[in-house]
Amino acid sequence: MSPISYKDAGVDIDAGNRFVENIKPLVKSTSIPGVLGGIGSFAGAFELPQGYQEPVMLAATDGVGTKLKLAIDSGIHDTVGIDLVAMCVNDLICNFGTPSFFLDYYATARLEVDVATAVVAGIAEGCRQSECALIGGETAEMPGMYAHDDYDLAGFAVGIAEKSELDRTTRVHAGDILIALPSSGIHSNGFSLARKVLFDKLNMNFDDDFNGKALIETLLTPTRIYVKTFKALKHNIQALAHITGGGIVENLPRVLPDTMRAVIHEKKIRTLPIFELIGEHVKRSEMFRAFNMGVGMVLVVTPENVHNVLAESDGYIIGHIEAGAREAVMV
């Protein structure tokens, strides 16, 4: 009886080594001050930055959800890595954390080097947009756990914040203004519902024209990263909320004190065409719980800072803060 190799069992160590060589320049392209060493050790290292009075480390982790299914089925793999970074770093800045470094976890049934390299290229691009470093990750080849072409992603972002700036709820007061920063599309939440409507109910195809381009291009548009906007405007912002699963109505209250509520004027929201199409078959209230509806981030700003924020961003006013039980209400 001939001996059985690891490759016979479905794990190709040589492919893993080729993959590591492929991604070395991608990782290097994200290097920023603070990175110590390169990939290949057992852990990534990052030096704590100077200038903080009471530095606090913040960490956020997330995935891309069933948006990955569209990437896998369409064969377009170079954008979901941006989504992965975005979902993590956009959470960090809501606690006034500046992203420092990022780690990724890539799991698959069988390592396809070109596919995995494309995914990491997207992750590297997301890190460059976030001005943080990709300092390590893990690739797991697990036959029997995943279907042949499937893969899954998880991301982990770490940043630094000033301890005194962490709690934003104490800075929110009646009379503050709510400014929406537009999303780039569906981002990375609600895709199970989107797929159900677009492909099961409407029988649409990836190549169908939607507003002048293929539908799949609209669906795979990467999640917008708001880190640079945050850095430019942080001294004008009282609080900010990342609009992900649960929509505005569930995410915005997370930055409010118990005695304040957010009032959003629904007609002021600049809803994107993809949401209008899906919304023809889903209740409006459900749409606002499942999707961002065109708003990727909501900023809470004092009246005197509104002009600065509007002048330095593509934001627009959608509501205000007033006294009341902690909630977000649509009017």
Ordered by start, the domain boundaries in the chain are 13-165, 169-330
In the prediction, which pLDDT does 1 show?
Answer: 67
Q: What is the CA radius of gyration of the chain?
A: 21
Strands of the chain (E only): list them.
35-36, 45-46, 55-62, 98-108, 133-141, 151-162, 177-182, 209-210, 213-214, 239-242, 260-264, 295-301, 316-323, 328-330
**Could you read off the pLDDT of 229-287 as tens digits, one per residue?**
999 999 999 999 999 999 999 999 999 999 999 999 999 999 999 999 999 999 999 99
Residue where the block lists tokens 């609209």: 218
- CA distance linking residue 268 with residue 319, whole number of Å: 8
Domain 169-330 belongs to what topology? Answer: Phosphoribosyl-aminoimidazole Synthetase; Chain A, domain 2 (3.90.650)
pLDDT band at residue 19 under the 50/70/90 scheme:
confident
CA atoms within 13 A on the CB side of 322: 6
32 closest CA partner among 100, 93, 98, 96? 100
83 closest CA partner among 105, 64, 107? 64
- CA distance linking residue 328 with residue 263, whole number of Å: 6
Domain 13-165 sits in CATH 3.30.1330.10: yes
In terms of pTM, does the model score above 0.85?
yes
